[in-house]
Amino acid sequence: MAKDGFETLKLVGTRPNRPDGLDKVTGRARYGADFSLPGMLWGAVVRSPHAHARIVKIDATKAEALDGVKAVITRADFPTGLTGEDWNLQENTMAGEKALYDGHAVAAVAATSKLLAEQAARLIEVTYEVLPHVIDVDAAMAEGAPVIRAGAADATVPEGLHPNVVRYMEFGRGDVDAGFAEADLVMERTYKTEATHQGYIEPHACVSKMGADGKGEMWVCTQGHWYIRKMSAAVLGIEASQLRVTPTEIGGGFGGKTTIFMEPLSLALSKKAGGRPVKIVMSRSEVLRATGPTASASMDVKIGMTKDGKITAARAEFRMQGGAFPGAPVDMALYCCFAGYKLANVHHVGYDVLANRPKCAAYRAPGSPNGAFAVESLVDEMCRKLGLDPVEVRLKNGVTTGDRASYGPKFGSIGLTEVLEAVKAHPQLQAPLGENQGRGFAVGYWFNHNGETSVSMAIGEDGTAQVSVGTPDIGGSRASIALMVAETLGIPYEDVGVNVVETGALGVNEPTHGSRATFASGKAAVEATQAAIKEMCRRAAAEWDIDDEAVEWVNGAAQPAGPNAGKFPPMSIKEIAGKMGQTGGPISGHHESVPDGVGASFGAHVVDLEVDPETGRVTILRYLVVQDAGRAIHPSYVEGQYQGGAAQGIGWALNEEYVYDDKGRLSNTVFLDYRVPVASDLPMIDTVIVEVPNPGHPFGVRGVGETGITPPLPAIANAIHDAVGVRMTHLPINPPKLLAALKAR
Partner 1 sequence: MTKVHVTTTVNGDTVEFLADPRETLLDCLRDHMGLTGSKEGCGTGDCGACSVELDGTLVCSCLVLGVEAEGKTVSTIEGMANGSELHPLQRKFIEHAALQCGFCTPGILVAARKLLEVNPDPTEEETRYWLAGNLCRCTGYDKIIRAVLDAAAEMRQEVA
Binding site for partner 1 (CB under 8 A): 15, 17-18, 20-22, 24-31, 33-34, 36, 113-115, 198-203, 249-254, 281, 283-284, 474-476, 634, 636-637, 639-641, 643-648, 670-672, 676-682, 684-685
| Cβ neighbours around 647 below 10 Å, total | 22
Q: Supply the angle between the helices 368-386 and 712-724 in degrees, to the nearest 10.
A: 30
- Would you list the DSSP string of 398-459? B--TTPBPTTSSBP-S--HHHHHHHHHH-GGGGS---TTEEEEEEEEEE------EEEEEEE
252 or 460, CB closer to ligand FES?
A: 252
Taking the alpha carbons at both ends of the chain, their separation in whole angstroms is 45
> CB of residue 447 vs partner 1: minimum separation in angstroms?
22
Is the Cβ of residue 404 or residue 675 nearer to partner 1 in the bound state? 675
CA distances from 561 to 425, 461, 508, 548, 582 (A): 46, 25, 37, 10, 24
The distance of closest approach from Cβ of residue 280 to ligand FES in the complex, given in angstroms and rounded to an integer, is 17
CA 32 vs CA 36, 205, 283, 440, 532: distances in Å: 9, 5, 13, 40, 34
Q: Which is nearer to ligand FES, 174 or 252 (CB)?
A: 252
Q: How far is the CB of 603 from ligand FES (least distance, A)?
A: 21
> Least distance to partner 1 from the beta carbon of 440, Å?
18
571 and 557 in contact (C-beta within 8 Å)?
A: yes
Give the closest residue to 406 by CA, choosing from 445, 370, 380: 445
Report the distance separating Cα 421 and Cα 431, nearest Å. 17
61 binds, among ligand FES, partner 1, none (CB under 5 to 8 A by kind): none
Shortest gap between Cβ of 375 and partner 1 (angstroms)?
24
Tell me which of partner 1, ligand FES, none is bound by residue 640, counting a contact when its beta carbon lies within the kind-specific cut-off of 5 to 8 angstroms.
partner 1
Helix (H, G, I), strand (E, B) or coil at 633: coil
CB atoms within 10 A of CB 615: 12
280 DSSP β-pair partners: 206
* 345 within 8 A of 160, measured Cβ to Cβ: no
Of the candidates 567, 135, 545, the one whose C-alpha atom is nearest the C-alpha of residue 353 is 135
Tell me which of partner 1, ligand FES, none is bound by residue 24, counting a contact when its beta carbon lies within the kind-specific cut-off of 5 to 8 angstroms.
Answer: partner 1
Residue 365: name its binding partner from partner 1, ligand FES, none (Cβ under 5 to 8 Å by kind): none
Partner from partner 1, ligand FES, none binding residue 743, C-beta < 5-8 Å depending on class:
none
How many chain residues interact with ligand FES (CB under 6 A)?
A: 2
* Least CB distance to ligand FES at residue 219 (A): 20
Q: Of ligand FES, partner 1, none, which one does residue 488 interact with (CB within 5 to 8 Å by kind)?
A: none
**CA pair distance 718, 208, nearest whole angstrom:** 48
For residues 155 and 679, which CB has a smaller minimum distance to partner 1 in the complex? 679
Give yes or no for residue 635 binding ligand FES (CB under 6 A): no
Nearest alpha-carbon partner for 286 in 562, 22, 669, 589:
669
* Residue 267 C-beta-side C-alpha neighbours within 13 Å: 30
Which of residues 646 and 728 has its CB atom nearest to partner 1 in the complex? 646
Strands (E), 671-739: 685-690
Please say which residue, 508 or 682, places its beta carbon nearer to partner 1.
682
Cα(701)–Cα(688) distance, integer angstroms: 16
CA 111 vs. chain centroid, Å, equals 34
Q: Which lies closer to ligand FES via its Cβ, residue 208 or residue 643?
A: 643
Does residue number 201 form part of the binding site for ligand FES (CB under 6 A)? yes
Cβ proximity to partner 1, 20 vs 495, nearer residue? 20
Among partner 1, ligand FES, none, residue 15 binds (CB under 5-8 Å by kind): partner 1
Least distance CB 599 / ligand FES (angstroms)? 26
Burial environment of residue 585 by CB neighbours within 10 A (0 to 12, 13 to 18, 19 or more): exposed
Strands 588-593 and 601-611: unpaired
Residue 715 CB, nearest approach to ligand FES (Å): 23
Q: Residue 524 burial by CB count (10 A; 0-12/13-18/19+): exposed, middle or buried? A: buried
Smallest separation, CB 364 to partner 1 (Å): 11
Show the site string, 471-510: x = touches ligand FES by CB under 6 A, - = not: ----------------------------------------
CB-CB contact of 468 with 453 (8 Å): no
Applying CB under 6 A, among 96, 146, 252, 735 the residue interacting with ligand FES is 252
Handedness of CA 458, 460, 463, 465 (dihedral sign): negative
Instruction: Report which residue's Cβ sits closest to ligand FES.
Output: 201
| Segment 15 to 44, residues that bind ligand FES, using CB under 6 A | none
Residue 472 CB, nearest distance to ligand FES (Å)? Answer: 13
What minimum distance in Å lies between the beta carbon of 31 and ligand FES? 10
87 binds, among ligand FES, partner 1, none (CB under 5 to 8 A by kind): none
Could you tell me the smallest distance in angstroms from the CB atom of residue 252 to ligand FES? 5
Q: Is 597 exposed, middle or buried (0-12, 13-18, 19+ CB in 10 A)?
A: middle
User: Within its chain, how far is the Cα of 232 from the centroid?
Assistant: 20
Nearer residue to ligand FES within complex by CB, 252 or 412: 252
Q: Does 678 bind ligand FES (CB under 6 A)?
A: no
Question: Measured from the CB of residue 24, what is the shortest distance to ligand FES in angstroms?
Answer: 9
Q: Per-residue x/- mask for ligand FES, residues 202 to 241, rule CB under 6 A?
A: ----------------------------------------
Residue 487 interacts with which of ligand FES, partner 1, none, CB < 5 to 8 Å by class:
none
30 binds, among ligand FES, partner 1, none (CB under 5 to 8 A by kind): partner 1
Residue type, 745: R
- Least Å distance, CB 238 to partner 1, is 30
Report what 120 binds from partner 1, ligand FES, none; CB cut-off 5-8 Å by kind. Answer: none
**In 10 A of CB 604, how many CB atoms?**
31
Q: Which residues bind ligand FES (CB under 6 A)?
A: 201, 252
